[in-house]
Structure 1
Amino acid sequence: MASSSKLPPIGDVPPLTTEERARILDLLFEPSTQLHTLSVPLLHEKTFSSYNDLIAAVGAQLTDLSGSASTSDTAWLLDILGSHPRLGAKNVESVQSQAEQAQLQGSGEEAGQLKVLNDEYENKFSGLRYVVFVNGRSRPTIMEDMKRRIADSDTKNEQTGAIRAMCEIAADRASKLL
């Protein structure tokens, strides 16, 4: 790949090395050994007409894990979903997440409320992390969404929502990294 912060043309993906295909997944999603194991072969075996098609195929793999009755598949999925940083986290690994998290700057009181909501969400949905496509929404708007999801959702709905959000985030990142 020409640059570690840009995506190569989609047609150039299949012949890339395993490490380069893993880096593409890291740029689009978040660094995750489990996601590498699941999806790096897909990026070699299949040709995609666009990054949105690639993202949809990874989303289908994650949805298949979500629908599985296997506890090991569920654990695998939760590890992948958990690769996303907590909203409001200070130490964020990926450059993309750092920029996205910067949109959520707020007061110290709001940061404390967000931490409480993250804890509450993770206690209610054991093993899950709240994942949402921020897309310019304010911290108070996001916190209201968290409260609603804590009150209304069940674990399967949350898994589906997290997969959808990860794919929305990946599509947004792809549009910025081409």
Structure 2
Amino acid sequence: MSNLPSLADIQTSVSSPDSPLAAALSILFEHSPILVSKLEPQLSEIFDKSPSSSSPLSSYEELIDLSLAEITQWDIPAQSEFISGHPRIGESSNLSKLSAKEQGAQGVKPTPPEVLKRLEHLNAAYEVKYPGLRYITFVNGRSRAAIAEEMEGVLGWEHSLGPDQPSLDTVQPVEKSNEAWLSELKRAVGDVGKIAKSRLGSLGVV
């Protein structure tokens, strides 16, 4: 049974930090202050302006698409804050039930400690290389070990290095105006959308 508010309530409720729309956004995208302070009011205004005889939304997937259309128009710091609402890959504490399921934290076979340590180092290295960003990827059932290899590829590192190698002081930051930095931001926002749509299945929404 879905924990999402009904589409009718999402589109007709008064804008507030505790509105059904805010609740839906927090479930789909992970709770983040900017969802409540910026995205929720923007979407509420869109719904308020729509003709009473028509509804801008006929599905939760359309809510996700509409949300992403708004987010991609935000300035760079706001988009960066948005993706930082998602947990880091490999985190095992303070995860929502959906994030834990997506990251395999509740799997039958636990992730080896060396893989978790490697992911911790890779997250730190990524955040040095791309200041202001957090590594986001649509896990889609893959193991944390597979994600570690993906992150190594993004960083341009060899596979099967020691858990904390290379050292962080060898990582060169990328300027925020750099095309590579902006490309990573765009990819991360897009993957958050993929994660949100995947969650609909977990919530029993078709």
TM-score class, shorter-chain normalisation, is 0.7 to 0.9
- Residue number in structure 1 paired with 2:59: 50
Q: Following TM superposition, by how much is the alpha carbon of 1:74 offset from its aligned partner in structure 2, in angstroms?
A: 2.0
Q: Following TM superposition, by how much is the alpha carbon of 1:171 offset from its aligned partner in structure 2, in angstroms?
A: 0.5
Alpha-carbon distance in 2 for matches of 1:145, 1:118: 12
Q: SS where residue 72 of structure 2 aligns? A: helix
Say if 2:136 and 2:192, in contact at 8 Å, map to a contact too.
yes
**What is the one-letter code of the residue matched to 1:7?**
L
- The share of aligned pairs that are identical, in percent, is 34
Moved more, 135-144 or 158-167: 135-144
Post-superposition CA distance 1:116-139 (Å, at most 9, x none):
111111110001111111111122
Query: Is the aligned partner of 1:141 residue 2:152?
Result: no
- Residue number in structure 2 paired with 1:59: 68
Say if 2:80 and 2:133, in contact at 8 Å, map to a contact too.
yes
Structure 2-normalised TM-score?
0.74
Say if 2:90 and 2:144, in contact at 8 Å, map to a contact too.
no
- Residue number in structure 1 paired with 2:129: 124
Q: Indicate how the Cα distance of structure 1 residues 16 and 174 shifts in structure 2: closer, same or farther if over 3 A, else same.
A: farther
Moved more, 127-136 or 98-107: 98-107
Kindly report which structure 2 residues correspond to 1:72-83, keeping only aligned pairs within 5 A, or say none: 73-83=75-85
Post-superposition CA distance 1:147-169 (Å, at most 9, x none):
12223981111111111110011
Say if 2:5 and 2:23, in contact at 8 Å, map to a contact too.
no
Kindly report which structure 2 residues correspond to 1:134-173, keeping only aligned pairs within 5 A, or say none: 134-151=139-156, 154-173=180-199
Say if 2:9 and 2:21, in contact at 8 Å, map to a contact too.
no
Q: Following TM superposition, by how much is the alpha carbon of 1:13 offset from its aligned partner in structure 2, in angstroms?
A: 1.6
Aligned alpha-carbon RMSD (Å): 2.2
Q: Following TM superposition, by how much is the alpha carbon of 1:23 offset from its aligned partner in structure 2, in angstroms?
A: 0.9
Alpha-carbon distance in 2 for matches of 1:38, 1:175: 27
- Residue number in structure 2 paired with 1:69: none
Aligned residues: 168
Say if 2:138 and 2:192, in contact at 8 Å, map to a contact too.
yes
Post-superposition CA distance 1:51-83 (Å, at most 9, x none):
111111111222222xxxxxxx32222111111
Alpha-carbon distance in 2 for matches of 1:93, 1:23: 17
- Residue number in structure 1 paired with 2:97: 95
Q: Following TM superposition, by how much is the alpha carbon of 1:93 offset from its aligned partner in structure 2, in angstroms?
A: 4.0
Structure 1-normalised TM-score?
0.84
Larger radius of gyration: 2
Q: Following TM superposition, by how much is the alpha carbon of 1:92 offset from its aligned partner in structure 2, in angstroms?
A: 2.4
Alpha-carbon distance in 2 for matches of 1:144, 1:107: 15
Query: Is the aligned partner of 1:30 residue 2:35?
Result: no
Query: Which sections of structure 1, spanning at least 5 residues, go unmatched?
Result: 66-72
Say if 2:86 and 2:136, in contact at 8 Å, map to a contact too.
yes
Q: Which has the higher contact order (CA 8 A, sep 6+)?
A: 1
Query: Which sections of structure 2, spanning at least 5 residues, go unmatched?
Result: 48-55, 158-178
- Residue number in structure 1 paired with 2:4: 7
Q: SS where residue 90 of structure 1 aligns? A: coil
